[in-house]
Amino acid sequence: MYIDFHTHKPLHSSTENVLEVISMHKNVKYEGKYFTIGHHPWWTNEPLSKTDLLNMKTLLSNKFCLGIGECGLDKLKGAPKEIQEEVFYQHIMLANKNNVPLIVHCVRQYDQILNFKKKYAKTPWVIHGFRRNKQLAKSLIDQGIMLSVSPFERMNDSFIEMLKFLPNDRYFLETDSEYSLTIMERYQLMAELKKVDLEELKTQMKLNFEVFFGWKG
């Protein structure tokens, strides 16, 4: 089985060997698909209302809902810094209260993400769509944050170095919103970079998924 840890565009056809986790916004439902629920910093311009929080809490009772997110901080796009931080804090508290993992969006705010993690986190965190260097990856992993990555064609040397460095039990593979390659093709690229058998990689990703989400299939 292939696991697409974070995607915004589920497969239209039934594919038995692909498990997708849809990053869900504005309560769009995908029947029979695993998902996470959150308010993306690009499209959230004010603190979450009681209704927003109640809706997320209700969705967490759905057997297909695996966690909170994506949510986070973006220096280049979205609401003012103070609003983003308040909304991010609300997501963290909801994740803590419901004992579910948090899927984090981060653009040029890694120090602040680490500050929030140290102060408030009580459940597992992952930063999705990570494309930075090995040094930053190590700093995040050392603080207990997992990373979700998306190998692609024509990667630069810094990204390749980071992918090769990732400890086997600290990362996931995803498509996010970039669909030039399938999740199967991204697995193949990662297996080649890591010099591991494809089936071994699939087994490891399934184990990581089970541990992170407490998933039993």
Q: pLDDT tens for the chain, 217 residues: list them.
A: 999 999 987 775 556 689 999 998 765 666 678 999 999 999 999 999 999 999 999 999 999 999 999 999 999 999 999 999 999 999 999 999 999 999 999 999 999 999 999 999 999 999 999 999 999 999 999 999 999 999 999 999 999 999 999 999 999 999 998 888 999 999 999 999 999 999 999 999 999 999 999 987 6
Residue bearing tokens 């087994």? 203
Distance, CA of 30 to CA of 41 (rounded, Å):
22
pLDDT (0 to 100) of residue 180: 85
pLDDT (0 to 100) of residue 29: 61
Residues 110, 88 contacting (CB under 8 angstroms): no
Residues 9, 179 contacting (CB under 8 angstroms): yes
pLDDT (0 to 100) of residue 12: 58
The structure tokens listed for 163 are: 């992918």
Residues 112, 73 contacting (CB under 8 angstroms): yes
pLDDT (0 to 100) of residue 15: 61
pLDDT (0 to 100) of residue 31: 67
Amino acid identity for residue 19 in this structure: L
pLDDT (0 to 100) of residue 25: 78
Supply φ then ψ for residue 10, to 5 degrees: -65, 155
Supply φ then ψ for residue 149, to 5 degrees: -130, 165
Report in angstroms the alpha-carbon separations of 183 from 97, 112, 174, 207.
Answer: 32, 30, 7, 17
DSSP string, 71-133: EEEESSSSS-HHHHHHHHHHHHHHHHHHT--EEEEEES-HHHHHHHHHHH--S-EEE-S--S-
Distance, CA of 41 to CA of 215 (rounded, Å):
27
pLDDT (0 to 100) of residue 106: 98
Beta strand 102-107 with 65-74: parallel, antiparallel or unpaired? Answer: parallel
Distance, CA of 115 to CA of 2 (rounded, Å):
33
The structure tokens listed for 120 are: 């408030």
The structure tokens listed for 36 are: 């996470």
Give the gyration radius of the chain's Cα atoms.
Answer: 16
